[in-house]
Amino acid sequence: MKMVFRWYGENNDTVSLDQIKQIPGTEGIVWALHDLAAGEVWPLERIQEVKEQADQYGLHIEVVESVNVHEDIKLGLPSRDQYIENYKKTIENLAQIGVKVICYNFMPVFDWTRTDLYKPLEDGSTALFYEKSKVDQMDPYELVEKIAGSDVTMPGWEPERLKNLSALFDAYKHVTEEDLWDNLKYFLEQIIPVAEIHDIKMAIHPDDPPWPVFGLPRIMTCQENFRRLLTLVDSPSNGITLCSGSLGANPDNHIVNMINEFADRIPFAHIRNVRIYENGDFIETSHRTQDGSVDITGIVEAYHQNGFTGYARPDHGRHIWNEECRPGYGLYDRALGIMYLWGLWDAFERRKQNELAQTTTKSVSTI
Ligand code: DNO
C-alpha cells in the first residue's frame, strides 16, 4: 500500500506540503489542476510546475484526482469527440511527467453531494452530513434558482458547472442509465488504449452517494455495476478508485467482497468511514471502525490479504481541534486517519510475518 494525501494546490489549500511530508508513511500527493474546466487539455508546463513543488518535499505526483469528464461526453453529444481528443492529450501529458493513476468520475452534473458541511458530532467536532429526505424532496430546478441567487460554492463542484445548471438538467431529462453506460463505453474504448500505451491506470470513482440524486441517473453504485464496468473494456488500464465511504453509504454494498473480487483492478483506494442512519441519512465519522458503519478493519485486512500494492489515501476527515479548512479536507483528522490505516496494516503485516516464521520453524523442525 502506497500512502498518498490529497492536496488542492499552493493557493487553494490550508494544508502545506511540508505538513504532508511529516505525516508518517506518506509518499505522494493526490492533485489536480483545479482551475481548469472539464474538457481542457492540461498543459505540460502546468503539470511540471506541480511536480517541481512536490519534488522539493520529496513527495511524488503519481496520482491525479480528477481529470474531470466533460458533460458532453456523459451526454453522448457529437461534440464529445473533441473533448475526448483533449482527454487523450491530457493523459499523454500527465504520463510524460510521471503520473501513474488518473481518477475520474462519471456522475452527471454533480460530484459528491451533502446537505450540511459542518454537522456537529457528539464529540464537538463537525463533519459532512447527508440528509436523504432533503435531497429526495428537492426540486432540481428550485435548487438551480437557489444556487443562482447566492454566492454559494459546493464542495467538489467546479464553479463553471454551476452556471447553466438548468440547461444541463434539461439535457439529461431523456438520458437513461443505459444511455450513460453506452456513453461511458464509448469514452473508455477511446481513452483506454491511450492509457495502456502510457502505462496509466484509469480509475473510476464511485458515485457519491451511490444512488440517483435530483432525478439524474447514476451507475457507479454497486458491485454488479463495477463488474460490468470492468468488462466494458477489459484492460488493466480500466480500473476502479474503490471509495469505501461513497459505496459504504449504502448498507447493501459489501466493500470487502468488492476488494476480493476486483483486487487486481483497484489501483487507488479511498478509505474512510461513514455512519448510516436507518432513514438513509449518513455522516462522515473518524476513520476508526467502531465510530461508523463501515468495517474499515476488514477493508484494510482485505487489501493486505490481496497483496495490495496500489495507492491509498485517507478520505474526508472531521473538522477537529478548531481547524479551519476545506470541508472534509483538513490536516488533522486525515492525518489521524492515515495513522489508523497504517496501524491496521502494520498489525496485519506482523501477523503474516509471524505466521510465516512459524511455518518455517515447523518445517525446519520436521526435517
Ligand atoms: C470527494 C472526492 C470526489 C472525487 C471525484 C473523483 O471528496 O472523493 O470529489 O474526487 O468524484 O472524480
Please write the tens of the pLDDT for every residue from 24-47: 999 999 999 999 999 999 999 999
pLDDT at 257: 98
Residue 149: the pLDDT is: 63
Task: Clarify whether 60 is annotated catalytic.
Answer: no
What is the assigned CATH class of domain 2-366? alpha beta
Candidate list 104, 303, 329, 340, residue with the active-site label: 329
Vertex 84 angle, CA 78 and 89, to 5°: 150
CB of 103 closer than 6 A to ligand 1?
Answer: yes
Per residue, the 3-state secondary structure of 6-25, as one string, reads: ECCCCCCCCCCHHHHHCCCC
Distance between CA 224 and CA 127 in Å, rounded? 30
Active-site entry in 243, 287, 304, 311: 243
Query: What stretches in the chain show pLDDT beneath 50?
Result: none
SS (H, E, C) the chain: CEEEEECCCCCCCCCCHHHHHCCCCEEEEEECCCCCCCCCCCCHHHHHHHHHHHHCCCCEEEEEECCCCCHHHHHCCCCHHHHHHHHHHHHHHHHHCCCCEEEECCCCCCCCCCCEEEEECCCCCEEEEECHHHHHHCCHHHHHHHHHCCCCCCCCCCHHHHCCHHHHHHHHCCCCHHHHHHHHHHHHHHHHHHHHHCCCEEEECCCCCCCCECCECCCCCCHHHHHHHHHHCCCCCEEEEEEHHHHHCCCCCCHHHHHHHHHHHCCEEEECCCEECCCCCEECCCCCHHHCCCCHHHHHHHHHHCCCCCEEEECCCCECCCCCCCCCCCCHHHHHHHHHHHHHHHHHHHHHHHHHHHHHHHHHHHC
How far, in Å, is the centroid of ligand 1 from the Cα of 112?
Answer: 7
C-alpha triplet 239, 243, 246: angle, nearest 5°: 130
pTM for this entry: 0.94
Tens digits of residue pLDDT in 282-300? 999 999 999 999 999 999 9
Ligand 1: atom nearest CA of 246 is 8
Residue extents of the structural domains in the chain: 2-366
| Amino acid 284: pLDDT | 97
Q: Which of 33, 70, 154, 205 to mutate to test the pocket of ligand 1 (most atoms within 8 A of CB)?
A: 205
19 C-beta neighbours (distance < 10 Å), count: 16
Which atom of ligand 1 is least distant from the CA of 66? 12
303 is annotated as an active-site residue: no
Q: Rounded to the nearest whole angstrom, what is the distance from the C-alpha of residue 306 to the centroid of ligand 1?
A: 25
